Amino acid sequence: MDTPKSGEFAHIGKSVVIKGELSGSEDLYVDGQVEGTIELRNNSLIVGPNGNVKANVSAKGVVVQGKVEGTVNATERVELRKSAVVNGDVITQRISMEEGAFFKGKIDIQKEPGKAAPVAS
């Protein structure tokens, strides 16, 4: 999942601060600050390099380039890019992590039926 082009994702810019419950049915790119919860059941969340999310996140896929504090629950996959700083638990089927990513918490891999759970660096 690459960084989205403008228009592909709903976009929260780096000067925006949101406190509360955020839910939606489209993909979301957060480069600002969000505190509360983020729920995008069938869609993806990208936390941009300036993004600072203090929230429990539920989404199909989650890509982190910035900071996340809270539980990340992704039904498909989580990607931690090299600038990612994640403090909290991750529950997902697949996780990939770039060299330099910082993670503090528990990783719970939910295996797909009949498949091993891959982790890539």
Partner 1 sequence: MALVSENVMKLFRGSGQSSAPAVPQKLNRRSSGMAEISRLLNSQEALCVLDLGSTSASNIQFLTEKGHKNYSEDLLRASLDPTLRVKDEAGNWATDGKRFLDENLTYGNALFDIVLCWNLPDYMEESLVKPAVDRLWSVMKPGGLLLAFFHTRDAGPDAPCYRFHITATDMLEMQEIKLPAVNRKDDKNSLRLQRVFNNRHIENLFRDFASIKFFLARDNIREVLVVR
Residues that bind partner 1 (CB under 8 A): 95-97, 101-109, 116-121
CB 103 within 8 A of CB 86: yes
Instruction: Tell me how far, at minimum, the Cβ of 35 lies from partner 1, in Å.
Output: 20
* Amino acid identity at 64: V
Instruction: Tell me how far, at minimum, the Cβ of 53 lies from partner 1, in Å.
Output: 18
Instruction: Tell me how far, at minimum, the Cβ of 82 lies from partner 1, in Å.
Output: 11
Q: Residue 1 or residue 18: which is nearer to partner 1 going by CB?
A: 1
d(CA 69, CA 6): 26
Q: Residue 19 or residue 102: which is nearer to partner 1 going by CB?
A: 102
Q: Residue 16 or residue 119: which is nearer to partner 1 going by CB?
A: 119
Angle at 40 between CA 114 and CA 51, to 5 degrees: 110
**71 C-beta neighbours (distance < 10 Å), count:** 17
